[in-house]
Amino acid sequence: MGSDAGSQTQDELADGGAPAAAAPAMFDLTDGGVGVMPDPDDNPDQHVLPHHDAGIQISYEVVNVGGAAGQARVGVEVDDQFALEWQSRHLGPGESAVERSSLGRLSAGPHTILIYVNPGSGDQGHDHQTNEFNVE
């Protein structure tokens, strides 16, 4: 009888011959934060800062820090209210994707955007981010 031991890795052999489990896809938000700007598709007066007479657009980037390919899901809340969820294309380990999401028009005054990514890596500060800003 032949042996398959030659085709197994040292880690597999040390673990009683069981194949090593691949690290799953995990995602982080990059250090660039959440960008907030007037939505170019809803800005008839060409405002350069967030304004109640223009839509609001946010931008953010996710990166796959895991060991397998997968899709990130990013949830977006505006002033503690769920606004939308975005799903990335299939990202391999180390790959990233940038998204721009339209939030519609917001009233004048202070607002807070919270974004969070799933499945996150659990790294504090990289699985969720906020941006507090003012709408004129």
Supply 61's token pair: 């980037």
DSSP state of 91: B
**Predicted TM-score of the model (pTM):** 0.80
Query: What is the CATH code for 23-135?
Result: 2.60.40.10
Give the model confidence (pLDDT) of 6-54 as tens digits.
Answer: 444 444 444 455 445 568 999 999 998 899 999 999 999 999 999 999 9
* Domain range annotation of the chain: 23-135
Give the model confidence (pLDDT) of 92-115 as tens digits.
Answer: 999 999 999 999 999 999 999 999
Q: Which residue has the tokens 């659990």?
A: 122
Peptide bond into 119 cis (omega under 30): yes
Q: Decide: helix, strand or coil at residue 27.
A: strand
